[in-house]
Amino acid sequence: MKAVIITGGQMPSSDIVREEVKDAEYIICADRGAEVAYKYGIEPNEIIGDFDSIDKSILQSFKDKNIPIIKFPAEKDDTDTTIAIGEVLKRKVDELVILGATGSRIDHVLGNIGLLIKCLKQKVKCYIRDDNNIILLTDKNITLNYRGYKYFSLLSYGETVNGLTIEGGKYPLNNYELQLGDSLAVSNEFLLGKSVEINFKSGLLLIVESRD
C-alpha cells in the first residue's frame, strides 16, 4: 500500500502532488498541508496537527466533509510530520512519499530527512519529494531510474559507506569508502535513458536527485 503525507513546508506544485496521490491508498495532511490538499481539490483520509497556522475556513470545509481531524497541542514533543509518519506506520504501508517537507526552515528540513530512518527501520520505502529534489535514505543496494531529475548526489549519513560502487552514471566509482563530510559523490549525472546501479557493503547512504 502506498501512502502520501502532505506537510506544511514549501508548497509542491500541482503536477507533483497529483502524480503522487493518483495511486495512493492513504493520504494524510499534517497541519498546513491541508491547505495544499484544499487548493488542489484533494480529499485526504485524515488531517492531524496543532492547527496554529492553518486557515480555519479550510479546516472547517474538511470538517463539513466528515474527514477525520485529530488536534494536538501546540507545545508537544514531536513535530506534526513525525506524528503523521507514526499514523502511517500503524498501517500496512510499503511505500511512503512525503510532500511539503522542504523549505526555508533548514532545521525542519534536516529533521524531516532524519525521519526517513523511522521508515527504513520498518522496511518501508520512503522518500521526500519537491519540485527540484527527491531525497531518500538506504542501507542496501539500489537502482535509480531516471525520473526527470538530471543530477544525483550520494552522501554518507553518519557512518562510512563501505565499498561504494556506481555504475551507469556519468562518473563511475568503484569500491570507494565514502565518509561523513566527503563530497566526492556529490553532483553526479544520469545518462539519458539509463538507470544507475548503486552498490555498497555497509553503511547508511543519503541519496538526493536534483533537477538543477
**pLDDT tens by residue, 93-113:** 999 999 999 999 999 899 999
How high is the pLDDT of residue 124? 95
> What does pLDDT average to over the chain?
93
Average pLDDT, integer, range 131-140: 96
Please report, rounded to a whole number, the percentage of residues in the chain having pLDDT higher than 70: 98
Scanning the chain, the segments in alpha helix (DSSP H) are 14-21, 33-39, 56-64, 80-89, 106-114, 116-121
**pLDDT tens by residue, 19-49:** 999 999 999 999 889 999 999 999 999 999 8
DSSP calls for 126-187: EEEE-SSEEEEEESS-EEEPP-S--EEEEEE-SS-EEEEEEESBSS-EEEEEE-TT--TTSS
Cβ atoms of 185 and 166 within 8 Å: the answer is yes
CATH code of the domain occupying 142-210: 2.60.120.320
Average pLDDT, integer, range 158-169: 96
* Per-residue pLDDT at 134 exceeds 90: yes
The kind and range of the H/E element at 28 are strand 26-30
* Per-residue pLDDT at 193 exceeds 90: no
Please state the domain extents for the chain: 2-131, 142-210
Distance (Å, whole) CA 32 – CA 12: 12
User: With bands split at pLDDT 50, 70 and 90, how would you rate the model's confidence at 77?
Assistant: low
Which tops the pLDDT comparison, 56 or 129?
129
Question: With a threshold of 0.85, does the pTM exceed it?
Answer: yes
Decide if domain 2-131 falls under CATH 3.40.50.10240.
yes
Distance (Å, whole) CA 114 – CA 69: 26
What's at 64, amino acid-wise?
A: D
Q: 49 in helix, strand or coil?
A: strand
Distance (Å, whole) CA 28 – CA 102: 17
Residues in the chain: 212
Cβ atoms of 51 and 59 within 8 Å: the answer is yes
How high is the pLDDT of residue 112? 93
Alpha-carbon 77 to chain mean position: 21
Which tops the pLDDT comparison, 51 or 154?
154
